[in-house]
Chain A
Amino acid sequence: MSQKQNGDKSVWANPKVRTALLFLSPVIIFLISLCVGRYIIPIPTVFKILSSPFFAIEADWPSIMETVIFNVRLPRLVMVSFVGASLAISGASFQGILKNPLVSSDILGVAYGAGFGAALAILLFPDPTMIQFFAFGFGMLAVGLAYMINSFYKRSSTLILVLSGIIVGAFFSSLISLAKYTADPETKLPEIVFWLLGSFASIRVEDVIQYVPLMVIGIIVLLLLRWRINVLSLDDMQAKSLGLNIKKYQAVIVFFATLITASAVCVSGIISWVGLIVPHIARMIVGPNNSKVLPASVAIGMTYLLVIDDIARTLVANEIPIGVLTGVIGAPFFGYLLLRQRVGWS
């Protein structure tokens, strides 16, 4: 925090208020998001519908509105929240353990691995259930490969790991191009392109049941390990002197960060920027301590992606690809933040 900030007398300066606002914001935005959409439902009706399973309220709304709230908006918003949280916390974790402020949640090639897995499944099987299975498997495989390359070096460093991730990412990105090249342009290619582009447009309750538990587990594990990430972000000699098995913790954190990123990619394709900028925004608010940055990233990641998705689904009748919006809105917003305040890193 700069001196100027410390002199600020506004409510925002109070750390307790700030923390409260930070963790309330996803809840507030979630409720607001439930009220907006292409199908116009009056706000009181929204809340009546929401409370109808718990209280005896006479249904004076058409059943189609219930479908919109419970089967369309709710699963989508839950999914968006957890994808935002997953991308943000895995980004923050990678930035911490790799000691590099420029890495993002897919730095170890998980997104391209998953993308290739999905493309392969689309080409090989007519059955869409294989797509998610392959995507997830290849996403994990890509990170495993990066880790393996890294382990070939006796004196492996975080830099080597980042480079291994880039190598694996480039390899799978080429394989994606090859898969697109051989795909039938009328049938298979659009499917691959749409999978890679990602969309929350057709999220259903089943998707939530399939992916959210994985994400919740990953997020909880990373949150529990946030102190270790703090230690791992010190340089290796210091960490060793604290008696930690660096390699073991690094591997566990990479595994769970990858697990939730792969889940997010399976749901919504490759969404850029979230895993990179959300941790920075978190650091601006709560400082560089990872034990605070990780939970703050979860809250900000949820809020941020909910807002972006609200724009994607309401601005015009056709869905704007969310990966496009996160870049178009995220990049200038990040630039604005940089101008107002130096992005913290220590």
Chain B
Amino acid sequence: MTDKKVYLVIAIIAIAAISVAAYLLLTGETEPETPNTIAVTVTSSPTGAGYVKVDGTAITTPKTFQWEEGSTHTLEATSTATWVSWSDGGSQTHEYTVPASDATITAAFEGQIKVTFDQSGLDTTADEAIVSFTVNGETQTKSYADLPVSTWVDAGTQVSYTIEANVSTTCPGAYFMLTNSESSTTITVDDDTTVTAEYKRTIIDANGGIIDVPDPSTIERIADSWPAHNTIVVMCGYRDALVATATTNTVNPMFQKILPAIETMLTPFNSDGTVNVEELMAENPDIVFVSASGEEAAAAMENSGMTVVRLQFYNFEDMVHTVRLTGWILGEEAFTKALNYVDYFTEVQDNIISTTADLTSSEKIKVLHLVGNSLDPIRIDAGTGLINTWINLCGGDNAAAEIDGNMQTVSLEQILAWNPDLILIGSATANDVRETILNDELWSELDAVKNGKVMANPMGVFDWARYSVEEALNIQWVSHTLYPDLFPDTDIRAETAYFYETYYEYTLSEAEITDILRQVD
């Protein structure tokens, strides 16, 4: 062969190869291979969930798949049931190649009964194993996230199970209580059986009473006779559900701003601690919140078939508890809001405690808190209760620590004897009372008056001094007022705006912030 011939052959081969490649490429692009889609129905005898896994995923039979012809899939007959055969003759777990035409493949089980455990009434706050069951000596324990769960047994098999009668939750004081007649038993199964653990929602109220509360999805109308607690309901996102409230809230200017309907809302709760039950019944509340001190009204409402929840707090630990419990009663979303608030409050509180911890007793400022609605008689908040709690928390000394209780009557002579460094005044009329004190000869002997340390305690949707969720703001205001050098970063105006935005979903104007802080020139 000559060199020319060799080149020619190579050239022909190359042209042929390029042509073939070009042809292949062209046909590949213009006429892509359309895979043949085949409908394959995977079923079982008996049908249902948990018998078959396809490609590792449990399915409920029968189920139809659209598979490509010739592709392979793993079929598995679940081992808990006694498997007999696959209709294609494959082993219990085998590779299945999709045929050219639609097909049905069946896994046959023999003499098997499905036993399912399920629940109703629980939510994600359930914090315990719910059910444990024993089949053929093997025990399994399942919690909320695992349910429902099924197992397969031969007909006539004995299945023993225990359902938790009293499921604790991530909310202290809140429980799911089993309403089924039996929580622990052994059954002999002859047919498919579903055991449903039915729970109701239960809380332990401030008096230690066990109270059934309705399912959150059914709570659409709320009555709340405890003025401060109304702010918790608002914070939990349920302001529009309020149908009856306390008179105090209806006249509060800020409450009217964040919820205009409050102004004309029904106030069936009387000043003498009783309630106009019929008026309230007409509003048909799904739940009534009361403070634990309003027992007479609470009993009357319960007698009329209402769900009454008694709550109370005199310190921050119980306040946090009350906020969480209220959130839990109102459902998962409200509970999340409550937890967010509790996190915020706890962070604020811990920061103040750690900052004021090093104050020596001589550095501590002596604080007197006046009730402030009148000076005749003079009433002060003494050495117990929430006000005393926050005075101490913010590093102050309660001038009235030697006596107990809120709103105690004292003489001016006693106040002169205490001689506080700072006087804080509560109530809506605080600024008037402040004026009176600053211009009164008798009060002028006090160090607080001489140094101009007489201030109105802020008041927002509720008096900051007393009981409401705005305590989180109050302790920041008080600690900064007492020790501005220790809390240089506190910007109470910005913090107030943030709080209202975050927890009341209300955007405050600058004027409103001034009103709340009762800032005077």
- A-to-B contact residues, CB < 8 Å: 37-40, 63-64, 67-68, 71-73, 76, 128, 180-191, 194, 199, 201-202, 204, 313, 316-319, 321
Contact = CB atoms under 8 A, between A and B. Distances in A.
A317 B373 contact: no
B400 A317 contact: yes
Given A182-B271, A199-B377, A317-B414, 13 more contacts: A37-B413, A38-B411, A39-B417, A68-B416, A71-B441, A181-B271, A183-B271, A185-B269, A186-B246, A201-B409, A202-B412, A317-B400, A319-B377
B252 to A, nearest CB: 10
A68 to B, nearest CB: 6
Interface string B9-53: 000000000000000000000000000000000000000000000
A64 B416 contact: yes
Residue from B272, B408, B411 whose CB has the most chain A CB atoms within 10 Å: B411
A76 B442 CA distance: 14
A184 B248 CA distance: 8
A136 to B, nearest CB: 16
14 contacts: A38-B411, A64-B445, A76-B411, A184-B271, A185-B269, A185-B270, A187-B427, A190-B373, A190-B407, A202-B375, A202-B412, A317-B414, A318-B414, A321-B409
Contacts of B412: 72, 201-202
A191 B374 contact: yes
A208 to B, nearest CB: 14
Contacts of A199: 377, 409
B416 A67 contact: yes
B247 interface: yes
Contacts of A321: 409
A262 B408 CA distance: 27
B272 A72 contact: no
A185 B247 contact: yes
B408 A318 contact: yes
Contacts of B442: 67, 71-72, 204
Contacts of B410: 201, 317-319
A201 B411 contact: yes
State which size class the interface on B falls in: 35 or more
A341 B417 CA distance: 43
Interface string B394-424: 0000001011010111111110110100000
B261 interface: no
A183 B272 CA distance: 9
Contact of B378 (A64, A180, A201, A316): A201
Interface string B268-281: 01111000000000
A234 to B, nearest CB: 45
Contacts of A181: 270-272
Interface in B235-288: 246-248, 251, 269-272
Interface in B39-81: none
A191 B402 CA distance: 25
Contact of B271 (A37, A39, A71, A180): A180
A201 B517 CA distance: 31
B227 interface: yes
Contacts of A180: 271-272
B417 A40 contact: yes
Nearest to B414: A38
B377 A202 contact: yes
Contact of A189 (B269, B271, B378, B413): B271
A187 B377 contact: no
B473 interface: no
Contacts of B414: 38-39, 317-318
Nearest to A128: B376
Contacts of B248: 184-187
Closest 10 CB pairs between A and B? A185-B271, A39-B417, A318-B408, A64-B445, A38-B414, A186-B248, A317-B403, A201-B411, A319-B409, A189-B271
A64 B414 CA distance: 12
B234 interface: no
Nearest to A64: B445
B222 interface: no
Nearest to B432: A126
Contacts of A204: 442
A187 B429 CA distance: 10
Nearest to A313: B411
A316 B373 CA distance: 23
Contacts of B411: 38, 72, 76, 201-202, 313, 319
A318 B403 contact: yes
Contacts of B373: 187, 190-191
A190 B374 CA distance: 10
B443 to A, nearest CB: 9
A270 to B, nearest CB: 15
A186 B427 CA distance: 9
A186 B248 CA distance: 6
Nearest to B447: A64
